[in-house]
Chain A
Amino acid sequence: MGEMEQLRKEADALKDQITAARKAVQDTTLEEAAAGVAVVGRVQMKTRKTLRGHLAKIYAMHWATDSKLCVSASQDGKLIVWDSITTNKVNAIPLKSSWVMTCAYAPSGNLVACGGLDNMCSIYNLKGKDGNVKVMRELAAHTGYLSCCRFISDTEIITSSGDCTCILWDIETGTQKTSFAGHQGDCMSLAVSPDFSYFISGACDFTAKLWDIRDGNCRQTFAGHESDINAIGFFPNGQAVITGSDDATCKLYDLRADQELITYQDSSIMCGVTSLAPSLSGRLILAGYDDFNVNIWDSLKAERVGALAGHDNRVSCIGVSADGMACCTGSWDSFLKIWN
């Protein structure tokens, strides 16, 4: 068909235009620009707490905004809310479906959410009147597994799915507000910008996309990885995105220059990145890998400056608390560890 041929040509021309426009602003590299900055000294952290209680692989964890409580999800079919300082279990929530892949803590501390192979996002109210934690809503519409979820507020949550889309939900009515379609592979992970106006998604099409939460549009697409993107996060100033992939590398993409600025890789690292989190200043990137370790990278110099070794199986999730005081790792070995 004539129009199809025309559209294909236009698509190719536009891709070339984007490549050229990115090159046109590439007056230097982050490596060159940071040449005068000294590499961070060796970072050594110790396990301060071990959170024991799950009976199977831990797939996800998320800090509460108070930097004290955190929630973890395990395929033992439980969501546990921990006091990370005392190591006490504040809540142990039994799930309808044990095939959980993600969990999230609402910024208010009132709600937690989880989901997985049931294709649903279940919202639990931690502050119910009678003290019991109950399912408040079951958000169903995805036609694939729930890979990640993040609250915007007590009334809105964003989910990413193996059905290649992300959805913004109205929790009160349990309905979809906006669907974000465009990825051509399972969406594996999402992160919300510090000002709550954008979110980024990483997918099995090897790209990361920046979405405007209010108008539903994809603003930017970042390519470069050579395999699935499993982990994604915002640089703390909200101006850059960090991704972690099965290709064994992490990358930093700047939103305003619209391009990759640097890759965090080492020839000795040959296994996939499962999770990542930046430190408070963004200078350190902590990344969990399939080889049971966490590597700590100097974000400006792309050098490995430390490692966290202590888990006996894959590190599946990692998070830095809001006050930057500690890093929490969750593993297939069923334990969570708090480090600083």
Chain B
Amino acid sequence: MSSNLVVMRKIVQQLRFEASINRVKVSQAAAELQQFCIQNALHDPLLTGVSSSTNPFRPQKVCSFL
């Protein structure tokens, strides 16, 4: 059996599989992405900005005992 045939059969089998999935409407998918962004916005430090008092990467100005 030619290997080209084997490869082609696999390609068709894969396409059949991918064609068969259920798809959700873009309106629903888009709404859920938006909702996730909005719900988590306040907890996203790079989005809200990090104040120097809560920023672990900001140089400390106060000396502390180790």
Contacts and interface: CB of A to CB of B under 8 A. Distances in A.
B34 A33 contact: yes
B46 A280 contact: yes
A7 B4 CA distance: 11
B8 interface: yes
A210 B15 CA distance: 14
Contact of A281 (B11, B16, B40, B58): B40
Interface in B20-60: 21, 23-34, 36-41, 43-47, 50, 55-58
Interface residues of A, number: 65
Contact of B5 (A1, A27, A34, A340): A1
B60 to A, nearest CB: 10
A132 to B, nearest CB: 27
A199 B26 CA distance: 22
Contacts of B64: none
A282 to B, nearest CB: 5
A34 B16 CA distance: 33
A129 interface: no
B8 A7 contact: yes
User: What are the 7 closest A-B residue pairs judged by CB atoms, nearest first?
Assistant: A281-B40, A48-B57, A33-B30, A281-B44, A14-B15, A256-B24, A257-B29
Interface of B: 2, 4-5, 8-9, 11-12, 14-19, 21, 23-34, 36-41, 43-47, 50, 55-58
